[in-house]
Amino acid sequence: MPKYRFNGFGRVTGRKRCRTYVADTVEEAIQKACEDETVVDPHSVEISPEEPATERQLRFARELGLLFKADISKRKMRQLLDTALGLEWMRRIDENLPPTEAQLEFALELGIRVGPGIKRRQLTKMISEVIDDDWPIESAVRQTDSGLLGERLLERMAAEADEGKRKARGR
């Protein structure tokens, strides 16, 4: 999804803010800003292009024999892979579900602040941004939802997250 960057101010504090929101449309980004207590100037919007597909996505799509443009975005590649694997319906259901207890606990361990009304997919993305990109977090979270994720894997996830934090801090 594209990123929309707005200049505005806090509704309560009146202080200047410059915030970025990930959304499908400008209207959706403005709605997210309103939920965030930010008053935005719609004319100040800067739209960042979508992220390119990851090497991992490209490699997997090639292994499946899928055809795609060289400059395909991460979001469009995900849709292509979902369709090819028959997972599109599962993602649509996932988007509106609340986060699982395991997700909430893991987010807390990572120091991620979780606001009210957050959805499972949103929290998955937030967790993915904190830990290493090579970690298959979405599949791990999906396994958690079906009760297949054991104590050892949760401990491993937490340990790897801690290691990722240490690396990010340069230790």
Say what the pLDDT of residue 140 is.
45
Residue 116 vs residue 163, higher pLDDT: 116
- In this prediction, residues 9-34 reach a mean pLDDT of 86
Given a contact cutoff of 8 angstroms between Cβ atoms, the answer to whether 39 and 17 are in contact is no
Q: For 140-153, write each residue's pLDDT tens digit.
A: 444 444 444 445 55
Q: Distance (Å, rounded) from C-alpha 64 to C-alpha 80?
A: 11
Q: What percent of the chain has pLDDT over 70?
A: 73
Q: How far is CA 17 from CA 67, 79, 126, in A?
A: 42, 33, 21
CB burial string 37-50: b at 16+ within 10 A, e below: ebebeeeeeeeeeb
Q: For 107-160, write each residue's pLDDT tens digit.
A: 888 888 888 888 887 888 888 777 754 454 444 444 444 444 445 555 666 676
- In this prediction, residues 46-51 reach a mean pLDDT of 82
Give the range among 18-22, 74-78, 140-144 with minimum mean pLDDT.
140-144
Say what the pLDDT of residue 146 is.
41
- Tell me what the pLDDT averaged over the chain comes to: 77
Name beta bridge partners: 6.
Answer: 19
